[in-house]
Amino acid sequence: MRRVKDKMIHGLFFLNGIFVVAILLGIFSLLVFTAFPAFKEINILDFLTGSIWNPDAYLEPSYGIVPMLVSTFMVTLGALVVAIPIGIGAAAYLSDVASPRVREVTKPIIEILAGIPSVVIGFLGIVLVGPFIAKVFGLSNGLNAINGSILLAVMALPTIISMSEDALTSVPSNYEQASLALGATKWQTVIKVKIPAALSGIIAACMLGMGRAVGETMTVLMATGCAPAMPKGFLDSVRTMTSTIAIELGEVAYNSTHYYALFAVGLVLFIITFIINMTSDIILHKYEKVHR
């Protein structure tokens, strides 16, 4: 009886695992098959190198994804520039400086930050961050790449802090003790011993945070202005791949070139996030091996 139960549970978990893999494969093949017809009418080179995206044009539609790629890249890079120093700093504080009581209160609070709906953060971008940026840079408005970067940084922070803190705490304590015994100060120990030892974990954390930033939709849709022109700098309005899909997929005519093209954009996005997640997974794996 017990053996049967064990086997059933074993089987159930196996099914669950397979189910998730099947979903992933299903989504991937859906993307590929729906994206593919787009290239019957759009030259794939034009798609990947064109600098104008204007599918419902007054005259000639054009499908170039470069401005979107650049936009996505810009807000993600900006978000990482803001989030990584703050994230690692906060993680180091939590793991090495804060008293256990402070840590117990602070860590859950940081994790709650991850649960704030993106619409709310986007709204803050419009009414709070936007006007602030406009004032600081002397612009007429603050709906631009910097705004998106700051908001995405806020959204990526919980992931980065929480995972970096785990990585720092799991550095074997003899590293720390050896460093202190050699006369290093606490600060030197954190900067020169613990962070390097936990580096692969921290990098993986940042990569996951990056994956979150690349795929985020509503926040950037609301806060970056969504102008489709090629951005010339961080003070220009940008329109990411995610916001383009979100804006246009809702009303596109079924099975039109535009429809397929949006799935092609989705495929590109999927490949990008897949590579990011894969890389972070590989790095994380490596780091687990080092400490075993």
Partner 1 sequence: MKRFLVLSIVVALLLCVSNVQAGDMLQIKGSDTLINLVQRLSEVYMQKNPGKYISVTGGGSGTGIAAIINGKCDIANASRLMKPKEVEQASKGGVNVKRVVVAMDGLSVITNANNPVNLTVDQIGKIYRSEVSDWSEVGGKGGKITLYGRQSNSGTFVFFRDAILKGEYAGTMRRMNGNAQIVEAVKQDKTGIGYVGVGYVKKAKGLNIVKVAAREGAPYSSPLNSEDVKSGTYPIARPLNQYVNGTPMGAVADFIAFELSDEGQKIVEEEGFFLLPQEYVDFNKKSVGL
Give contact residues for partner 1 (rule: CB under 8 A).
52, 54-59, 67, 126-127, 130-131, 134, 140-141, 143, 221-222, 225-230, 236-237, 239, 247-248, 250-251, 253
Q: How far is the CB of 18 from partner 1 (least distance, A)?
A: 31
Q: How far is the CB of 228 from partner 1 (least distance, A)?
A: 5
Q: Which is nearer to partner 1, 133 or 193 (CB)?
A: 133
Q: How far is CA 237 from its chain centroid? A: 20
Q: Which is nearer to partner 1, 131 or 196 (CB)?
A: 131
d(CA 107, CA 113): 10
Q: Which is nearer to partner 1, 95 or 147 (CB)?
A: 147
Please tell me the total number of residues recorded for the chain in this structure.
292
Q: How far is the CB of 129 from partner 1 (least distance, A)?
A: 13
Q: Which is nearer to partner 1, 132 or 187 (CB)?
A: 132
- Among the listed residues 152, 161, 271, 150, the one whose alpha carbon sits nearest the alpha carbon of residue 205: 161
Q: Which is nearer to partner 1, 184 or 249 (CB)?
A: 249
Q: Which is nearer to partner 1, 37 or 61 (CB)?
A: 61
Q: How far is the CB of 40 from partner 1 (least distance, A)?
A: 19
Locus of tokens 């590579």: 275
Q: How far is the CB of 237 from partner 1 (least distance, A)?
A: 5
With beta carbons less than 8 A apart as the criterion, state whether 197 and 287 touch. no
With beta carbons less than 8 A apart as the criterion, state whether 196 and 218 touch. no
Q: How far is the CB of 279 from partner 1 (least distance, A)?
A: 33
Beta bridge mates, 242: none
What single-letter DSSP state applies at residue 189? I
d(CA 27, CA 141): 39
**153 vs 86, 212, 245, 268, CA distance in Å?**
9, 10, 22, 23
* End-to-end CA separation in angstroms for the chain: 38
